[in-house]
Amino acid sequence: MAKAIPSRSENYSEWYNELIKKADLAENSAVRGCMVIKPYGYSIWEKMQRALDDMFKETGHSNAYFPLFIPKSYLSKEASHVEGFAKECAVVTHYRLKNAEDGSGVIVDPEAKLEEELIVRPTSETVIWSTYKNWIQSYRDLPLLINQWANVVRWEMRTRIFLRTAEFLWQEGHTAHATQAEAEAETRQMLDVYARFAEEWMSMPVVRGSKTPNERFAGAEDTLCIEAMMQDGKALQAGTSHFLGQNFAKAFDVQFLNKANQQEFVWGTSWGVSTRLMGALIMAHSDDDGLVLPPKLAPIQVVIVPIYRNEEQLAQLSERILPLVKDLRKAGISVKFDDSDTNKPGWKFAEYELRGVPVRLAMGMRDFENGTVEIARRDLKTKETVPFEGILERIQALLDDIQQSIYQKALAFRQANTFKVDTWDEFKEQIEKGGFILAHWDGTSETEEAIKEETKATIRCIPFDAAAEEGVCVFSGKPSTRRVVFARAY
Amino acid sequence: MAKAIPSRSENYSEWYNELIKKADLAENSAVRGCMVIKPYGYSIWEKMQRALDDMFKETGHSNAYFPLFIPKSYLSKEASHVEGFAKECAVVTHYRLKNAEDGSGVIVDPEAKLEEELIVRPTSETVIWSTYKNWIQSYRDLPLLINQWANVVRWEMRTRIFLRTAEFLWQEGHTAHATQAEAEAETRQMLDVYARFAEEWMSMPVVRGSKTPNERFAGAEDTLCIEAMMQDGKALQAGTSHFLGQNFAKAFDVQFLNKANQQEFVWGTSWGVSTRLMGALIMAHSDDDGLVLPPKLAPIQVVIVPIYRNEEQLAQLSERILPLVKDLRKAGISVKFDDSDTNKPGWKFAEYELRGVPVRLAMGMRDFENGTVEIARRDLKTKETVPFEGILERIQALLDDIQQSIYQKALAFRQANTFKVDTWDEFKEQIEKGGFILAHWDGTSETEEAIKEETKATIRCIPFDAAAEEGVCVFSGKPSTRRVVFARAY
């Protein structure tokens, strides 16, 4: 097989890079840190978008679009926000090129300098809250529930396709509310939407919790997150939902007249997931033979490969298979009938395994005569010969089963790699082996930073479902009331 | 009515601006030339996107995503391309801000200067063809049929919402082919897709034709376009499809091994439509009371307003109306049942007229008792009282009728405002009155420019369906073989 990729145990990082390349998902562009998302990868992203967008709309949100550029002065209006983003932003300073007078080519026209520099949005709180100021006057204008699908830019120094790129695609929800309680409920609701998407669509179990103050979004009062475990035991933050308090309302003077006829500052939230989810999807399920995709997000759910020696055989096989193709499509299942003669069946099998097609059917002349078909599932790599009759129902059931099965597998993996740890020596030992560590923490930033410094482990979250439990901090020995999740992370 | 807008005859331009504002479609942002597309406007754009995207996929195209930034040197590789875009591009020169040492705030960090400036894409031919170089080796890799939905930036000095903005949203198709004939066929196919979308979805008749060399896309060998007539008689270019020849293939050295085992340069096309279509949609159909939307693109297709004096009446009306709401949704018709008591029915009627909801139902107690309902169509502003029984089928038929009817109205308007003109005096007189002028042209750029200089009229296109006809140029008196379309344009 020309397309072999390194195994995960050999080199997890190279496995990831090569898989992205060989499965035609994406590639680095000539522009530093910016990726090209190739058609096959983009079609997975489109399915993610569609599912998320439907969920946002079901929860009452509308899409809108705000400018790519943010005036420098806007970014500065919320103090911790500019602190968080100033160090890694692309700055537009001019609006024209011209031919160099010495004929050396095209140069930036020094006479076309902007009065105020523009930042390419790293996130849109500032430009959106400056707009909300004009949209919100009274409690009748609230809640304002808006989402945007957009590209954003953060000038990361070390980039990695899907996981950390200078430009990435995402959605960012920005909502405004009359009360703190309502904004907090929205923050939590959207985290739950993300968790549901991760678990039901991506088949990827997640831990829901709050970030520590150190790890909060720049400008938020509270950041909620979902954390997933990758197959190398590292954590990946898969989505965040921020309770902004009145910070941006105050920075942009967004007030409303409440029912008691008093001016009040508005309460805000923001929440986002990005093309980073593509990285999570790949690392959560795929194996040494290629992608493993949950059926709900697979661009091709079923591939059918006829095995034939001549045109006549192909004609016979096609006659039986084509009505099935039609029925599958009618049932909303995406199917590819690969009858091309440029590649052999074995090559095709390997190729569709690499691309993560969940179900593969193969039919040769013996199957044809016996009224059977071979059906293989990508996740378990098992296959069996079954009657052709009733195959549609079997495929439907199998797709459902695969969706569940890879979720259960990932969940079992996470459970097997989550450890309660109570001593510092044990902590240091376990963190080298990978996985999530449930340990007591004294609640201080100093301890959190010292642990990170010594082990590269961060507090992924304070889980919502952590039981109250008396204990002592694994690092400082000071008292603690519940365990938090530590891990090394992407 | 608080929301009244100026009439078209009074001030067409103000009518357009106020309509966009009052119907909550979009607004200017604080960033010069960049717009905010508000939820109602964006939901129309989403419907356009969905319909176009389906048509692109039906014709074999896939979506992908390419970087926002283009290295300055890339833009320069195709000579006429850089000539066309250098004068109006946003240039990123730095990648970091920092706190000023004098405490005056946040400034651009002079130490974070990029080695090579990056251009925010005004269009993506250069970055895409530099990528295609790696994707195309053999004829087996062709055709490559890719589309991208993206934001682009052109630093226009005079901007106007939807029609001409510094940042806008669009799709750009970029295809690569083995032969000239195939690339030319693709160019024409995509123009026909645009024409079909304009006519069948936007109910907007268009003239299909070729641009003159003067009006071609920078870097194209041929530009095809669709041109629509707005209600003030001006033309609006609603979509373009470019045959790029081998220009970008040569600029980026994209060659392939053909079946005869020889290296050849690839043939290319590109094609795009943008949020400009929103401007076209508004100006093609709307009237002095607000938007008129074709049902296929209307975010709300049917609004139902109950007319009641008390809760008991509302309960009775709701009991009859809610099953209809459910049936309409089941039939794929978007419906709003506006039973809010904050506004009176008259206010609601005006509001939904302003927003262009194609069909309005109203039911009061008399209707309730008589088993009737009032049905009104937005486009003709007619209404009638009809039996409630069978209302679903009536609504479906009415939506179809409106879709057709506003197309026919726009077509009749264009026909009534298209004039064959044979003398220069007549030309100058007619151009002041508006409309399309069909006139002979000698085929030279000099004449085209002289006419533009004197009358502000441009050649919108050389229509595909222009009959061969001997004549003399309306300006120069030189011989001509067919008429072209002149108009003032947006």
Percent of chain B residues topping a pLDDT of 70? 99
- pLDDT tens, residue by residue, B435-456: 999 999 999 999 999 999 999 9
pLDDT in tens, A252-278: 999 999 999 999 999 999 999 999 999
> Residue A488 pLDDT more than 80?
yes
Q: Chain B residues with CB inside 8 Å of A62's CB? A: 39, 42-43
For the residues B163-175, what does the mean pLDDT come to? 98
A64 and B37: CB-CB below 8 Å? Answer: yes
Q: Which band of pLDDT confidence, cut at 50, 70 and 90, is reported for residue B54?
A: very high
* A136 touching chain B per CB within 8 A: no
A94·B91 Cβ contact <8 A: yes
CA distance A466 to A420: 12
Do the beta carbons of residue A50 and residue A58 sit within 8 Å?
no
> How much is the average pLDDT of B327-343?
96
What is the spatial distance between Cα B157 and Cα B32, in angstroms, rounded to a whole number?
9
**Average pLDDT of span B94-116:** 92
Q: Which domains can be identified in chain B, with CATH numbers? A: 12-63+129-285 (3.30.930.10), 300-396 (3.40.50.800), 418-487 (3.30.110.30)
Which chain B residue has its CA at the smallest distance from A68's CA?
A: B167
* pLDDT of the residue at A90: 97
User: Could you tell me if B130 lies within 8 Å of chain A, comparing CB atoms?
Assistant: yes
Cβ B261 vs Cβ B325: under 8 Å: no
Q: Enumerate residues 91 to 110 of chain A having a beta carbon within 8 A of any beta carbon in chain B.
A: 91-98, 105-106, 108
Residue B3 above 70 pLDDT? Answer: no
At A156 the three-state DSSP class reads coil
Determine the pLDDT at residue A3.
59
Helical H segments across A179-302, by residue range: 180-196, 247-251, 276-285
Tokens of B19: 């309509």
Position B2 confidence tier, pLDDT thresholds 50, 70, 90: very low
A-chain residue closest to B169, CA distance: A65
From chain B, the residues in CB contact with A47 under 8 A are none
How far apart CA B269 and CA B267 sit, in angstroms, is: 7
- Provide, as residue numbers in chain A, all residues whose Cβ is less than 8 Å from the Cβ of B169: 65
Contacts of B176 in chain A (CB under 8 A): none
- pLDDT, tens only, A129-168: 999 999 999 999 999 999 999 999 999 889 999 999 999 9
Contact A72 B106 (CB under 8 A): yes
> Which chain B residue lies closest to A62 (C-alpha atoms)?
B39
Q: Greater confidence, A304 or B32?
A: A304
Q: Which of A66, A131, A151 sits opposite B68 (nearest CB)?
A: A151
Report the DSSP pairing between strands A106-108 and A97-99.
Answer: antiparallel
Percentage of chain A beyond pLDDT 70 is 99
Q: pLDDT, tens digit, for every residue of A202-243? A: 999 999 999 999 999 999 999 999 999 999 999 999 999 999
Mean per-residue pLDDT, A91-103: 93
Residue to mutate among A27, A31, A104, with most B CBs inside 10 A, is: A31
Q: Does B167 touch chain A (CB under 8 A)?
A: yes
A43–B63 C-beta distance less than 8 A: yes
B43 in contact with chain A, both atoms CB, cutoff 8 A? yes
Q: What is the pLDDT of residue A355?
A: 97
Q: What is the mean pLDDT of residues A446-472?
A: 96
Asked if B97's CB is within 8 angstroms of A29's CB, the reply is: no
Q: Does A68 touch chain B (CB under 8 A)?
A: yes
pLDDT of residue A119: 97
* Shortest distance, CA A125 to any CA of chain B (angstroms): 14
Query: Would an 8 Å CB–CB cutoff place A72 in contact with chain B?
Result: yes
User: Do strands B359-363 and B302-306 pair parallel, antiparallel, or not at all (unpaired)?
Assistant: parallel
Task: State the nearest Cα–Cα gap between B34 and chain A, in angstroms.
Answer: 6
- Among the partner-chain residues A37, A98, A169, the one whose CB lies closest to the CB of B86 is A98
Spell out where B129-184 has E strands: 144-153, 167-177
**Does residue A446 carry a pLDDT above 50?**
yes
- Give pLDDT, residue A83: 87
Amino acid code (one letter) for B229:
M
- Residue A426, token pair as written in the block: 């044990």
* Residue in chain A nearest B105 by alpha carbon: A76
Region for residue B465 given its phi and psi (left: phi exceeds 0; alpha: psi -120 to 50; beta: otherwise): alpha
Q: How far apart are CA B268 and CA B274, in angstroms?
A: 20
Q: What is the DSSP string of A84-131?
A: HHGGG--EEEES-EEE-TTSS-EEE-TT-EEEEEEEEPSS-HHHHHHH
Query: In 3-state terms, what secondary structure has residue B48?
Result: helix
CA distance A96 to chain B (A): 5
pLDDT band at residue B83 using 50, 70 and 90 as cut-offs:
confident
Residue A1 has pLDDT above 50, yes or no: no
The chain-wide mean pLDDT, for chain A, equals: 96
Band (pLDDT 50/70/90 cuts) for residue A104 is confident
pLDDT tens track for B123-166: 999 999 999 999 999 999 999 999 999 999 999 889 999 999 99
pLDDT grade for A411, boundaries at 50, 70 and 90: very high
Contacts of B96 in chain A (CB under 8 A): 86-89, 91, 155
B34 at interface of A, judged by CB pairs closer than 8 A: yes
Between CA A33 and CA A29 the distance in angstroms is: 7
Indicate whether B385 pLDDT > 70: yes
Q: What's residue A196's pLDDT?
A: 98
pLDDT score at A2:
47
pLDDT tens-digit map of B262-298: 999 999 999 999 999 999 999 999 999 999 999 999 9
Q: What is the three-class DSSP state of A6?
A: coil
A87 touches chain B (CB under 8 A): yes
Cα separation, A464 vs A479, in Å, equals 20
CB A75 within 8 A of CB B106: yes
Whether B21 and chain A come into contact, CB under 8 Å, resolves to: no
d(CA B117, CA A400): 50
Q: A42: which chain B residues are within 8 Å (Cβ-Cβ)?
A: 62-65
pLDDT tens track for A37-78: 999 999 999 999 999 999 999 999 999 999 999 999 998 898
Closest Cβ–Cβ partner in B35, B88, B106 for A82: B106
- Reported confidence tier of residue B104, pLDDT bands at 50, 70, 90: confident
pLDDT at res. A80: 85
CB contact under 8 Å between A87 and B97, yes or no, is yes
Is residue A313 less than 8 Å (CB to CB) from chain B? Answer: no
Cis amide leading into B463 (omega within 30): no
Segment A377-400, tens digit of pLDDT: 999 999 999 999 999 999 999 999
Q: Do A106 and B146 touch (CB under 8 A)?
A: no
**pLDDT score of B101 more than 90:** no
Which chain B residues contact residue A45 at CB under 8 A? 65
Task: Mark yes or no for CB contact B91/A95 under 8 Å.
Answer: yes
**CA end-to-end span of chain B:** 31
